[in-house]
Amino acid sequence: MRKRSVGINVRVTVTEKKKVTMLARKCGLSLSEYLRQRALGYEPGGHPPKEVFDVMDKIDEIAESCQPSAGTKIAACADEIRNLLIGGN
């Protein structure tokens, strides 16, 4: 069951809505979640650009082509970097 049952209506200009929608999308959040987080004092972070993930995929390919012990270390480091970039644990 949905816990949130009370709405808050805010009037904005078309330009303001486009800007806030873009910022929410950049963070990977819905417009409602983005506004909720901002209103509650959180500053959501943006996702890295697609090129960052392309580079991480290339590092994974390199790790797979290395000697097993080196490949395991490279893969572990790549996982650590990936988690830092996307907010993993």
Q: What is the pLDDT of residue 57?
A: 84
- pTM tops 0.85, yes or no: no
- CA angle 60/64/68 to nearest 5° reads 130
Q: What is the pLDDT of residue 88?
A: 47
Q: What is the pLDDT of residue 1?
A: 58
Q: Which residues contact 82 (CB under 8 A, 6 or more apart)?
A: 56, 88
The list of the chain residues with pLDDT below 50 reads 88-89
Q: What is the pLDDT of residue 66?
A: 86
Task: Copy the structure tokens of residue 27.
Answer: 């963070």
By C-alpha distance, which of 51, 52, 77 is closest to 62? 77
Which stretches of 1-89 are DSSP H helices? 14-26, 31-39, 50-65, 68-86
